[in-house]
Structure 1
């Protein structure tokens, strides 16, 4: 096959040591795997969608990676070929993904069909992703093959791949070359269609080491990661597969569909394996708190966990406090909850709150934030809001906030967060050109996120494109959504806010998921709470059934998509019950 990148093949020499330091290539995924010949140390535990467990030593993982590399090569793919892999069962996806990396191919992780509902949205997303990725081969679980939109690529099941007669020669591991395209990672698409980000060997290695060494101070002899996160998403793939491999930390990978069916499997597994590191978006912590009880907590031992990462969406202080309070009886140290900030265009993480220090939200004046883009300290009253700090950028990385003037802002000035460093990816590909469109200008990546700095600590405060502009005021929709979710009957993570055209100005609309028997007077309660907390009147409140709010793969609400559906009249309200009288 032709190497689409136009770059040399996979057999180049690794860079030599400079100034006595180990070359970055020694932490390149393939270089690490190549050292695991005969190593009996634990590497991965895979828990499939039925709860079945399979354990692999480092040596066994290396064997499976080389086996998949040989079988993929036997399918006619070679260095530079793109292999789309639907990420469902971790025990099948991970060896295939790593096998593609090993053989110098370019794997493209894609979402499997959803467990519950939203099948049309999945098909639409896949139909947009495949032309952008232009894969030569698509691999999926057998039941999903019939659902994949037609492409010129060959389609193959994981079962069939494992039966392909392997080539006689074991491909040499892809050598470390920083600019080499390692894989394509689709961004979450919270404000539009997902885009294919080019992750390079250099950005993956830099970010993996930054996370594991500087962020987590991880020790392969003591640490054990646990994750149920989707493996087609950067938080699951980089955070719990690629980054741990750079330093050899073992990980238990739970099939996402098992977590969807049984959210309690997350904390049970963390307890059972004495896991030390896990992570998830904000909504998952709210779900874990809501789905637990005293009996379940009594059977958990979370005392070994020193890091529970929270990122992928703005972090709610209330959610983290509720989770910490609920799980304290299971031995959880509240200081283990560590907010983090990142995005696919920077491979994964940009910053991580320091280890061993309980998170303390920054309480700021809401009027100053809302009307003047200033995050000035506020009091403990209704006129203040809490914003969570996500730590300082990793060593060798930088962050700044650029205001509407186009100039870097001072501490506590709100603007767009820009980041720079070796973790920043090469660019985007869209299926129409071979060379990626750069994501950075003069080295700086414009993240599209609003936020501010305090003594170098990044405080994210929402997405630029999602900002609600009402009567000349900039309002973060996340604040409106959190206020709505405080109403009894509204599901945590189930509110979304956007604007609609009004007579004189834009009006704010809140869509709130709730159970039918809890939907009585949701409209009035949401209006009153948002008005009291934020001084904001709402144009409309729509109570909808659970599962109605469109979300990205990381759980962030797709506000522009919900706005589109609302304006088209495609949001049928849930049948409401009349308010009950009395207590």
Structure 2
């Protein structure tokens, strides 16, 4: 019978020069990665000692296949042992792995093949490694691409003896494609030095990892929060981690909570929608078998934090030991490896209830008063040690407390730049090391509060309107709408901005659809003073990023393309 690895060990919190040095050290203990299947069953145990041995073997086999140190290798990121082995084999071989997304359930084969080809081209990849279940897809993707190798790990030369290169802190570690929330995914080049700086900040300063800690995740390994947060950082702290496929969570979200209790996990993260999905399922499912009393860090990251669903989660699972003090709000991005700030442990969510009118008109974070339009924002903590955050106005001037502006970041975890895209790098990364994050926010008692993305902001008659305000209002107050059913953005119409709201409808009844359009239109007019053009789309029609966030830019592009097609017709 396969049993999970055990957590007891002497902890060394990521103070290593490289990722390979971290694995060399972790291999001396008894901890490792535990991989679970679609029904939560334990499919494979991969102790760090075994992972190191297998990674060294596959490193030589990759080089024997004709690859050379420095080559880029696309890795289709299935949550299985082969992805983990391949990723670390690349580390020992001096190759640069680029984790790639899996096909989406509603996506089509042709679209996926084209997507991966474009990502391989952006990475100038020499090889593509995929899971056995996608072997035919991998072959199709590789056709005519001039790759040195394409296949599964089992397709590599059976025996090989190659000299492995020495790996230094300033060598490239991996290529992280951004989520694509505002553009086609761009390769973020992360060095070993940047990764280890972030791993130290996360494990030592943010999570304050303890010897008995254990992590669990359903987040995809091609996303920075899944890869860095729940594969690389746990390894760098010799922490055992349980990984379950994202598809398993989507089908059975309560499996996540079941594994937390069953395996004694203490650290796990999710975007808000993950907690929301669990709370919704708990309404019609038995939960008394769950035990969340040991969950000390229920992290939040990857999207805007929405407080109402989190309050529903804490109420739904209080009876099985969940404490709202476990919530830890975080802020970060792939361009900073992962984390830039984390809220203090043990305090739970600290909310700021702001006057929306003052926020929209004056860019001031003023506390709401009775009768004013209000919205809650979560404090996301102070910058992690050796990292800095600034809030600046449109002229580049640093703003004071509670003044909303553009967020800039600097620190040892930042990327060197986008891979082979010097202009895109120069557009956001200054010579002084400051990164323009593209996010908006303000400081409150030294903690950063995120209010939105600058590219998503709707500017209407001098007002700054956050699209999520419109989306969340409709989803919360219109019966039948769920989280993720609404996308708001603006488009130019005769020289002025017009607000467009796309709403997913699962009904084909004409009266129901007409009523939905009218209800959303009236609600946004009443609550926000916005005259919006509401358009219905099919269920699951709104595009998402690799991390499960709504992609407003792609929704907007799709809408504009549809309008162009109509005009041509």
**Common fold: TM-score over 0.5:** yes
Q: 2:492 matched to which residue of 1? A: 501
User: In the comparison of the two structures, how many residue pairs are matched?
Assistant: 544
Could you list the structure 1 runs, at least 4 aligned residues long, displaced by more than 6 angstroms after superposition.
22-25
Q: 2:429 matched to which residue of 1? A: 440
Distance in 2 separating the partners of 1:504 and 1:541: 20
Q: Is the Cα–Cα contact under 8 Å of residues 203 and 425 in structure 1 kept in the other structure?
A: yes
Q: 1:275 matched to which residue of 2? A: 265
Residues 305-320 of structure 1: pairs in structure 2 closer than 5 A: 305-320=295-310
Q: 1:68 matched to which residue of 2? A: 58
- Residue 89 of structure 1 and its aligned partner are, at CA, apart by 3.3
1:183 and 2:177 are equivalent in the alignment:
no
Q: 2:507 matched to which residue of 1? A: 516
Residues 252-267 of structure 1: pairs in structure 2 closer than 5 A: 252-267=242-257
Distance in 1 separating the partners of 2:527 and 2:375: 9
Q: 2:193 matched to which residue of 1? A: 202
Q: 2:9 matched to which residue of 1? A: none
Distance in 2 separating the partners of 1:373 and 1:363: 15
Q: 2:530 matched to which residue of 1? A: 536
Structure (1 or 2) with the greater helix fraction: 2
Q: 1:146 to 1:382 in 2, by over 3 A?
A: farther
Q: 2:556 matched to which residue of 1? A: 563
1:479 and 2:452 are equivalent in the alignment:
no
Q: Is the Cα–Cα contact under 8 Å of residues 115 and 257 in structure 1 kept in the other structure?
A: no
Provide the secondary structure at the position in 1 that maps to 2:16.
helix
Provide the secondary structure at the position in 2 that maps to 1:492.
coil
Q: Is the Cα–Cα contact under 8 Å of residues 428 and 438 in structure 1 kept in the other structure?
A: no
- Between 1:224-233 and 1:509-518, the stretch displaced more is 509-518
Provide the secondary structure at the position in 1 that maps to 2:195.
helix
Match of 1:165 among 158, 161, 164: 158
> Considering only aligned residues, what root-mean-square deviation do their CA atoms show, in Å?
2.5
Q: 1:43 to 1:230 in 2, by over 3 A?
A: same
Deviations 1:198-218 (A, max 9, x none): 101111000011011100001
Residues 377-456 of structure 1: pairs in structure 2 closer than 5 A: 377-379=367-369, 381-430=371-420, 440-441=429-430, 442-456=432-446
- Residue 38 of structure 1 and its aligned partner are, at CA, apart by 5.3
1:333 and 2:327 are equivalent in the alignment:
no
- Residue 290 of structure 1 and its aligned partner are, at CA, apart by 1.8
Residues 147-158 of structure 1: pairs in structure 2 closer than 5 A: 147-148=140-141, 150=143, 151-158=145-152
- Residue 530 of structure 1 and its aligned partner are, at CA, apart by 2.3
- Residue 359 of structure 1 and its aligned partner are, at CA, apart by 0.7
Q: Is the Cα–Cα contact under 8 Å of residues 66 and 148 in structure 2 kept in the other structure?
A: no
Q: Is the Cα–Cα contact under 8 Å of residues 43 and 249 in structure 1 kept in the other structure?
A: yes
Q: 1:439 to 1:503 in 2, by over 3 A?
A: closer
Distance in 2 separating the partners of 1:368 and 1:68: 58
- Residue 37 of structure 1 and its aligned partner are, at CA, apart by 4.7
Residues 89-128 of structure 1: pairs in structure 2 closer than 5 A: 89-117=79-107, 119=109, 121-128=111-118
- Residue 146 of structure 1 and its aligned partner are, at CA, apart by 3.8
Q: 1:526 matched to which residue of 2? A: 520
Q: Is the Cα–Cα contact under 8 Å of residues 428 and 437 in structure 2 kept in the other structure?
A: no
1:212 and 2:206 are equivalent in the alignment:
no
TM-score normalised by length of structure 1: 0.88
Consecutive unaligned residues in structure 1, runs of 5 or more: 1-21, 573-583
- Residue 266 of structure 1 and its aligned partner are, at CA, apart by 1.6
Deviations 1:74-123 (A, max 9, x none): 21223212111010132110111011012211111111222343655544
Q: 1:16 matched to which residue of 2? A: none
Distance in 2 separating the partners of 1:504 and 1:438: 27
Provide the secondary structure at the position in 2 that maps to 1:556.
coil
- Residue 338 of structure 1 and its aligned partner are, at CA, apart by 1.4
Distance in 2 separating the partners of 1:279 and 1:190: 20
- Residue 233 of structure 1 and its aligned partner are, at CA, apart by 0.8
- Residue 406 of structure 1 and its aligned partner are, at CA, apart by 1.8
Distance in 2 separating the partners of 1:343 and 1:120: 30
Q: 2:540 matched to which residue of 1? A: 547
Provide the secondary structure at the position in 2 that maps to 1:252.
strand
- Residue 124 of structure 1 and its aligned partner are, at CA, apart by 4.2
Residues 286-301 of structure 1: pairs in structure 2 closer than 5 A: 286-293=276-283, 295-301=285-291
Q: 1:470 to 1:137 in 2, by over 3 A?
A: same
TM-score normalised by length of structure 2: 0.90
Deviations 1:220-268 (A, max 9, x none): x311111111111111000001111111111011122322333332222
Q: 1:515 to 1:203 in 2, by over 3 A?
A: same
Distance in 2 separating the partners of 1:211 and 1:24: 9
Deviations 1:121-179 (A, max 9, x none): 54443232111101111111214314426422134322534x5323235736x4332x2
Q: 2:121 matched to which residue of 1? A: 131
- Residue 438 of structure 1 and its aligned partner are, at CA, apart by 8.2
Consecutive unaligned residues in structure 2, runs of 5 or more: 1-11
Distance in 2 separating the partners of 1:273 and 1:520: 49
Provide the secondary structure at the position in 2 that maps to 1:367.
helix
Deviations 1:538-575 (A, max 9, x none): 1x112322211111111222212211222232799xxx
Distance in 2 separating the partners of 1:249 and 1:570: 52
Provide the secondary structure at the position in 2 that maps to 1:542.
strand
